[in-house]
Amino acid sequence: MKHFLDIDKTSVAELHGMIADAKAIKNARNGRPRGAPDDDLPLKDNMVALIFEKPSTRTRVSFDVGVRQMGGQTMVLSGSEMQLGHGETVADTARVLSRYVDLIMIRTFEEATLLEMAEHATVPVINGLTNRTHPCQIMADILTFEEHRGPIAGKKVVWCGDGNNVFASFAHAAGQFGFDLVFSGPEPLDPEMGFVEQARAKGVSVEIDRDPARAVAGADLVVTDTWVSMHDAPSARERRHNQLRPYQVNEELMRHANPDALFMHCLPAHRNEEATNGVMDGPNSVIFDEAENRLHAQKAIMRWCLTP
């Protein structure tokens, strides 16, 4: 079964194949109406279950549109409708859904839910996000970088902020795609060292530098994410703001990076918190290309999952 659970669990050749396929998919749609189906319909007569325990805008819309453009149909299910793990077990849910649908995408909180779903499903399962990783986002980010700057192998990527699930998938990608990675953030919000060590074991440099200006020197790509989740309590918001304020990506910080360094943010953003409007709307920002590329990258992932 070809599940797409994490970037490190997929071979380098297959990852490069997905990026190439995503580029071809995007190029083939150039100038076509947004709602028009693809000429190639690899999901024709396929039903895809989109499960959202955790709310979403980009993941929901991009997967839904992608399935429809490739000729399939979607069934969107919320956690409150399914009560995953609260009534029926995740394993039994996976077994039942596999009798109805051809592909499952799940966006959930606990990684264990994803892994149990994949273990017991008899159809492919895609990780739409967990608290530990966000591989679909990083596939879109790789696609975005390469369409603007060419191969990402050998480049320097700098992450400013919280060592969260998005950073974890960047660390996976560093090892698989061969780029160097620097984390710059406060020590209490360091990433799991297992992610760092795994990438280093594959021969790339992964560093931690508390000085953001020094960290971004020579960067080809600067990335950040929200300091707090959109639904975090006010007390958590204030504490994280105090920890992360020195790591804001602003115009002054970007001047330390390479002149043509790109800026990315996976969105949604708290503008003028983790990054200033000047950076987000500036000439080096590709945040909306990045958001669009979720659609194309995920279409390539779904095609890969359903290709024997």
Annotated catalytic residue, options 8, 38, 69, 107: 107
Calculate the alpha carbon distances from 171 to 27, 163, 177 in Å.
Answer: 28, 10, 10
Annotated catalytic residue, options 266, 296, 298, 303: 266
Under DSSP, is residue 1 helix (H, G, I), strand (E, B) or coil? coil
266 catalytically annotated: yes
What residue type is 3 in one-letter code?
H
Residues contacting residue 131 through CB under 8 Å, at least 6 positions apart: 109, 110, 111, 165
Under DSSP, is residue 74 helix (H, G, I), strand (E, B) or coil? strand
Annotated catalytic residue, options 225, 240, 256, 305: 225
134 catalytically annotated: yes
Annotated catalytic residue, options 3, 134, 240, 265: 134
Residues contacting residue 65 through CB under 8 Å, at least 6 positions apart: 34, 295
Calculate the alpha carbon distances from 161 to 15, 21, 170 in Å.
Answer: 27, 31, 13
107 catalytically annotated: yes
Residue 138: name the closest of 115, 118, 164, 112 by CA. Answer: 164
Specify whether the CB–CB gap between 103 and 49 falls below 8 A: yes
Q: Which value, to the nearest 10 degrees, does the dihedral of the CA atoms of residues 15, 47, 76, 8 take?
A: -20
32 catalytically annotated: no
Angle at 159 between CA 198 and CA 290, to 5 degrees: 105
Annotated catalytic residue, options 137, 176, 248, 298: 137
Cβ neighbour number for residue 198 with a 10 Å cutoff: 17
Strand partners, 49: 75, 104
Q: Which residues are catalytic?
A: 107, 134, 137, 225, 266, 294
